[in-house]
Structure formats: structure tokens, C-alpha cells
Structure 1
């Protein structure tokens, strides 16, 4: 058993709190940004202007989509009557002042949709084919997802169900029960998916080229299939999910899995037809 009781806050400056969650999240984004730059150069689409705008559009798409996704999919009842808090995370405290509560709700499905839309706008702005951009994002998305789940682990959130496995975590900030470290399961699986996708790009790029939507499809299928399966090791995030056959994370994953399968099969058929010629 692993006793887990990490202080979320690293340090604070007045009302501003620096937490592990935000630091790890941003570190993941910066690493992805660096690797994307190397792929841009290899694909001969690199310009300083394109890279600068990529960071801006990417961050806005991920955070905006993830925040709206959480508010709409998981906590609509509350945020439908507290709309301002969706965008401005300050809440009135007992002393009559306002306290910064942070963007505590971020949904990966909403982040994926937000990133897709922002990259569509970005491609038009920098005049790079959307198919190339979204395939490159598809290669790096699992790596970004791995960092997000490590952030969740540091926050002792999205916890697993009780278990007696030897590697169980006791999240002291939640309760004293040994639980599945589901955040770690997802982080490791996403990192593995990234390695597979990057390997295919580096060594099988002649079969599966950037711009065919293969890497985008592979990422969708792999990430959300693992998300669907690993939900069985997690506690439901909201009480309303207890009455569902599949929880909200699983239901939202199904369309992404199906789109991913279609794009993968399409590219495999094309690759096979080329080999037959």
C-alpha cells in the first residue's frame, strides 16, 4: 500500500496559489509544443508565426473546451445558475470578500472538442492544411493526457475504487481506504499510446503519412478506449452517474472511439491497396 498525502500547493503569493496541478499541466503543454516544433520542421511547415499562434490557440482550445465540458456534462445544475463562475473562478466567502477558487472542473472530452475547434480556426489563420495539423496533434495528445492525469494524482482527485491490490494508494485527503491509482493507470497507458504513435510516425511514415487523419484516428481510438475501460476502476465523479449503466466518461467516449475506428480502417485499406499495386 502507498500512503498518499501530497500538499496540492507548492507556495502562494497573496491570493495567487501555485499548485502541482497547474505546474505539471503547463510542463506537459510545453513539452508537447517542443516536440510539435520538431515535427513541423520535418514536415516543412515550420514558421515562427505558426508556432507562436499554435500555443495560443492550443491553450485556449484545451482549457476553454475542458472547462465548458465539465460545466455542461458533469455539473450543469450548479453552473446553470452560476454562469459567471464558469469564466471567472471567484466565489464570495464568509467575510464578504472574494476568494479565487481556480478552474477545478476540467473534462477531457470537452478539451478534445475544444482543441479540435481551435485547431480548425488555427489552420485557417496560418494557412496550413487542417489534416496535417490535427494528425500532428493526434501524435502528441496522449503525452499531454499523461501529464494531466499525473496532475490529477497530485491533487488526489479522480480517485479509484476500493481494492486490495498490493499497489493500492490510500488517498489520505479523501479517506483511509486503499484504492486503485486510476490516475496512474491512465497516465501510463497514455504515455504508451504516445510512444506507439510516435514510433509509427518515425518508422512507418511511408505507409501512414501526416495529413491522412490516421494519427488523429489512432489517438481518438486508443485514448478513449483506455478511458472507457479504466472507468471501471474509478469512483463516479457525480452521484447521478450511479444510476447509469455506463458513467458519463464512458458514454462520452463511445463517439470518439467509433470515429477513431473509421479513420484507422480507412487508412489501413488505403495502405493495403498501395501495397497491392
Structure 2
């Protein structure tokens, strides 16, 4: 068993203001996305400029925050919302959900595409490789905050998290950092480094993230107030990931099918 590195979740205190590591990870994620987007924008024929990149990050950040909070309330704590609707707006009490954030980002990208006269998947394919860095940093924030820990285990690297029941548990936040952050970024950055048919990069993002999340959920402790959804093993995270996997695979197949049909038509 490893000793959990007890790091103060509050990074800075300025008078009554407390800046948490989790919040700093969000800022670092947006900053990394901005830097990577500008790097992609300077590629010959990208069709993007620095002003559009800054606007894109703004729309994306709004989508993450608003959608993430809305998704957490609706998918994971709807009963509490019904009992106290104003809780939706008390974001300082914590609670964000990736799947809600994804929906929020999709809305933000759609609004951005309309404003700048771009196709939705032109924007989504450009954005997808920028996302994993923020996802990985967010999981590091979860680890520092000692939240969203894994299931009880006797593996040598299990840890006892503060605020838990004292059992050694999987550091599932680090598993998610490795898969949703490092592995997903590597795959998408490599895949998008060459011209791909429209919708393919977005499809790969959905399929890979959904698969990684589905796998990690077997090691992550289900939310106490929800537990397992079905079969004594299916979690809410897995249930929400299944449509992502199916849609991602469909988008990939459709993108390459359309490209093949177009190339066949040109040759004829």
C-alpha cells in the first residue's frame, strides 16, 4: 500500500479568498488548449487565426462550466435539485460532470461555428485534440482534492484517501489521468496530424473517451447515493459512456464511407 500524498487542496489563500488546486487545473487546461490551438492554427491551410482561437476557447470554457454543472445536477443529483432548485447555481459547493460538460461544449462549438461561418465538424475536429490535456489535469485536481477515489483494493499501489472509510483504494483518478489525459491526447494528436475526413477526429474522440471511461469505471467507486444502475456492476458513468462509444464508431465509419464514396465518384 502506498501513502496518499496529503496535499492541501487549497493552493493559495488571499484574505478570505481560497484558490483550490482543482480550479487552477481548469485554468491550466484552458491555457494549454489555447497554446495547442494556436500551434494548430499556424499550420498551412488551417483556416484559423489567433482571434478565432481565443474566441473558441471562450465558448468552450463557457460550455465546460455551464454544461458540466448542469450535467452533474441532472445526471447525478436530480433529487437534490428538485428539493432545492437554487442549488443548481451554487457552483462553489462543487459538482461537475464530464458528460454534461461535453454537451455544453457541443452547444458552444455550434454557436461559435455559426458566428464565424464554419461547419460544425470543422470546428469540432479542430477542438477535439485540445481537450485531453484539460481532462487529465482535472483528474490530477480530483486526486489532490482526495475525491472520486476508487474501489477498495489490495493492489500494492492502493491508498487510503482522507475522508474515506479507511480502506485502501484504487487511485482511479490517476488511472483516468493516464487514459483520458495522456493516452487520449497522444492518440488524437497523432491522428489529427494528417488530413482526415470531416467528423473522423470527433468520432475518434468520442469512441476512445467513452471506452476509456467505461473501463476505468470498474475501478472507480460509484457515487454513494446512486450505486450501481444495473447488473450489480453497471455505473452511471458507464451508462452515459455507451452512447458516446456507439456514436463515435458510427461517426468514424460514416466519415470514411463518405470519403470513399466521394473518391469513387471523382474517379468515375
Give the structure-2-normalised TM-score: 0.90
Which residue of the other structure, out of 72, 75, 83, is the alignment partner of 2:74? 72
What CA distance in whole angstroms lies between the structure 2 residues aligned with 1:159 and 1:184? 9
What CA distance in whole angstroms lies between the structure 2 residues aligned with 1:61 and 1:103? 19
What CA distance in whole angstroms lies between the structure 2 residues aligned with 1:182 and 1:6? 17
> How much does 1:47 deviate?
3.0
Count of matched residue positions in the alignment of Structure 1 and Structure 2? 260
Give the equivalent residue in structure 2 for 1:126.
116
Check the 8 A contact 2:150/2:172 in 1, yes or no: yes
1:3-18 → structure 2 map (5 Å cutoff): 3-4=3-4, 5-18=6-19
Check the 8 A contact 1:217/1:260 in 2, yes or no: yes
Which residue of the other structure, out of 155, 160, 168, is the alignment partner of 1:170? 160
Cα distance change on mapping 1:129 and 1:41 into 2, 3 Å: farther
What CA distance in whole angstroms lies between the structure 2 residues aligned with 1:15 and 1:221? 43
Check the 8 A contact 2:229/2:236 in 1, yes or no: no
What CA distance in whole angstroms lies between the structure 1 residues aligned with 2:257 and 2:212? 24
1:105-124 → structure 2 map (5 Å cutoff): 105-124=95-114
Structure 1 stretches of at least 4 aligned residues deviating more than 6 Å after TM superposition: none
Bigger drift between 136-145 and 107-116 goes to: 136-145
Larger strand share, 1 or 2: 1
Which residue of the other structure, out of 194, 205, 209, is the alignment partner of 1:223? 209
What CA distance in whole angstroms lies between the structure 1 residues aligned with 2:93 and 2:105? 17
What CA distance in whole angstroms lies between the structure 2 residues aligned with 1:187 and 1:174? 21
- Higher relative contact order structure (alpha carbons within 8 Å, sequence separation ≥ 6): 1
1:158 aligns with 2:159: no
Report SS of the residue matched to 1:235.
coil
Check the 8 A contact 1:67/1:103 in 2, yes or no: no
Give the equivalent residue in structure 2 for 1:238.
224
Structure 2: give runs of 5+ residues left out of the alignment.
none
Bigger drift between 183-192 and 61-70 goes to: 183-192
Give the equivalent residue in structure 2 for 1:58.
60
Check the 8 A contact 1:142/1:193 in 2, yes or no: yes
Check the 8 A contact 2:68/2:96 in 1, yes or no: yes
> How much does 1:271 deviate?
5.6
Give the structure-1-normalised TM-score: 0.87
1:26-45 → structure 2 map (5 Å cutoff): 26-42=27-43, 43-45=45-47
What CA distance in whole angstroms lies between the structure 2 residues aligned with 1:88 and 1:186? 27
Give the equivalent residue in structure 2 for 1:2.
2
Check the 8 A contact 1:142/1:223 in 2, yes or no: no
Please list the CA deviations of residues 67-92 of structure 1 after superposition, one character each: whole Å capped at 9, or x if unmatched: 00000111111122322232244xxx
Report SS of the residue matched to 1:12.
strand
Check the 8 A contact 1:9/1:19 in 2, yes or no: yes
> How much does 1:243 deviate?
5.4
Structure 1: give runs of 5+ residues left out of the alignment.
90-101
Please list the CA deviations of residues 13-71 of structure 1 after superposition, one character each: whole Å capped at 9, or x if unmatched: 23321111111121012101210122123243233431232122111101100000000
Cα distance change on mapping 1:268 and 1:3 into 2, 3 Å: same
Check the 8 A contact 1:58/1:118 in 2, yes or no: yes
Give the equivalent residue in structure 2 for 1:95.
none
Give the equivalent residue in structure 1 for 2:253.
265
